[in-house]
Structure 1
């Protein structure tokens, strides 16, 4: 697993469309995850992911190869007030979070997801935050093992329902 040929940086405006396409591709392929016809607004948000950067304290981060190919992306929130989830997460203080982690299917198994997560954790530490908060669903259980290996713990107080979809909270104390 050699991630040294990838760097994490903020996505440029001219990359937003490509990142949106990646997000739609990844989330639409999750087994059992609601399809575009079932959650059209969610997929519209994914396709237009660059718009999320207009929120305060919010960055769209990408992992790019030396050839500048986008291998993965994640949305980082340095302040939970911009996080935009249900439940109580947006009221958490001294906390950062990330959402919408997506890795190109052709790049899986190379540590791209971990690279993006560790970049978010480093950003939170550098900004003096005390914790990092994330959410996941049953359809993303494959990522749960990775989150837990990194040190995230389930936090039931952060759970919420998004329509008919159960969303589970995780917390990493820094």
Structure 2
């Protein structure tokens, strides 16, 4: 399967939002929409991130332009919008809200999205890339570590009662 990554088109925003809600809601141990409605509202309206300065919503597509997944890339950490100290990290890019459709898992979609964010950070001449993940996201966690990201406890925070773990990749 050939995977291409590009910026989200606004006519794809609702489908990406639905995909992300389904992915996150199905994670064992991850809060449900009833437990964290604001978080799922943010996922539903993922396209709004593209309205922020220095922020891009990226999608992964197959040869037929079928939506496989997406991620939000931040060239300015002030736009990152998470808890904890990540928004104050200087000379860094961030990525958030990565999700891959269940049908496309194991095919390198998450890796392609993450590597695109890393390339964009290098283009920006940033020193590092920051991201967050949770215990419920073990597949993503392992992928990030294989790509060279390391735990960065100074970026950890609680989202409600959910521990969220920070990672950095030094470029």
Q: TM-score with structure 2 length normalisation? A: 0.98
Question: Once the two structures are superposed, what CA deviation does each residue of 1:4-58 show, in whole Å capped at 9, x if it has no partner?
Answer: x111000001110000010001001000111111111111111111111111111
Shift of 1:81: 0.5
Work out the CA distance in 2 between the residues paired with 1:145 and 1:45: 25
1:161 & 1:32 partners in 2: Cα distance? Answer: 15
- 1:20-169 matches, within 5 Å, as 20-169=17-166
Runs of 4+ in 1 over 6 A off after TM superposition: none
Q: In the TM superposition, what is the alpha-carbon distance from 1:142 to its structure 2 partner?
A: 2.2
Offset at residue 158 of structure 1 (A):
0.6
* C-alpha separation in 2, matches of 1:22 and 1:142: 17
Aligned partner of 1:18 in structure 2 is 15
Deviation at 1:76, TM superposition (A): 0.5
Unpaired segments ≥5 residues, structure 2: none
Q: Distance in 1 between matches of 2:66 and 2:140?
A: 23
TM-score (structure 1 length as normaliser): 0.96
| 1:137-161, Cα deviation, whole Å (9 max, x unpaired) | 1111221111111000000011111
Q: Residues of 1 paired with 2:111 and 2:100: CA distance?
A: 10
Runs (5+) with no aligned partner, structure 1:
none
Secondary structure class of the residue paired with 2:115: helix
Q: 1: CA distance between counterparts of 2:37 and 2:127?
A: 35
